[in-house]
Amino acid sequence: MELTICHLYPDVLNLYGDRGNILCLRRRLEWRGIEVTVTEKPIGSERSLGNCDLIFIGGGQDFEQETLLADLHQGKDAELCAAINDGVAVLAICGGYQMLGNYYETYDGHRCDFIGAIDLCTIGSAVRMIGNYMFRCDAESGGAVVVGFENHSGKTRLGEGVKPLGRVIAGYGNNGEDGTEGVRWKNVFGTYSHGPLLPKNPGLCDNILLTALIRKYGHATLDPLDDTAENRAHDEMAARLTKTG
Ligand code: GLN
């Protein structure tokens, strides 16, 4: 088995080292003898998102999101929509997650029209939502408790019939009001959780990998790995957030 991972906009969307998630995806495949190719698609790169099995998009500040708009609307928007509709697995974080929706209106009134692959929109608020947070994935996304870190001004609302990735246990998630976090649409996993999301949450990583493998091969299983260290880090953070949450 093999997977091709496409890292979209690594040049501008890489806040808090979001690219560490690529390393995690890669290693957890290689440790199981599954081949991986990672291709980077920065601003100005050729299109061809449809040829990959998994697309990763990190987060970025309002400035970076506005910087990439011209390139996005030169065809990558349509390609990304087509890939999502075709069931390509996607992990998108914060600014990258917002980009899959209809638009983002910044707090100071700039409007970024995004790709509209998923019916959701984001509006900037005066108060930033910052800090370590925790949510439980819905059952269809594995049910795992995820510990993460969020930093956003945008409040995201999901459209009718669009399901979240999970429900907030501590922190803000999509908007700090309706208890939802992220989005789960076709094979897309969207989340506000920055940085080492996958190293801290190996169960979620494997869920995303399985989603991509099953789409490609019809069925797939992943050999178990020794996640003792990862689970200890996860449980330590979950315990802290339970006390403060
Ligand atoms: N600019 C967006 C917001 O503040 C996304 C930020 C991010 O990716 N951290 O909502």
With the C-alpha atoms ordered 185, 191, 197, 201, is the resulting torsion angle positive or negative?
negative
**Residue 171 identity:** G
Centroid of chain to Cα 26: 16
User: pLDDT at position 90, please?
Assistant: 98
- Is 194 a known active-site residue? yes
Determine the longest span between alpha carbons in the chain, in angstroms: 49
- CA–CA distance, 20 with 37 (Å, rounded to integer): 15
Q: With pLDDT > 70 as the criterion, what percentage of the chain qualifies?
A: 99
- Name the least confident of 9-18, 44-53, 104-113, 118-127: 44-53
Average pLDDT, the chain: 95
User: pLDDT at position 244, please?
Assistant: 67
Query: Residue of the nearest CA to atom 5 in ligand 1?
Result: 95
**pTM for the full model?**
0.97
Q: Ligand 1 pocket: which of 9, 103, 114, 151 to mutate (most atoms <8 Å of CB)?
A: 151
pLDDT band at 195 (very low <50, low <70, confident <90, very high): confident
Residue 245 has pLDDT above 60, yes or no: no
- Name the least confident of 99-103, 140-144, 158-162, 177-181: 140-144
Contacts of 99 by beta carbon, 8 Å cutoff, 6+ apart? 57, 65, 72, 92, 114, 115
pLDDT tens digits, one per residue of 76-124: 999 999 999 999 999 999 999 999 999 999 999 999 999 999 999 999 9
Tell me the CA–centroid distance for residue 152 and ligand 1, in Å.
4
User: pLDDT at position 89, please?
Assistant: 98
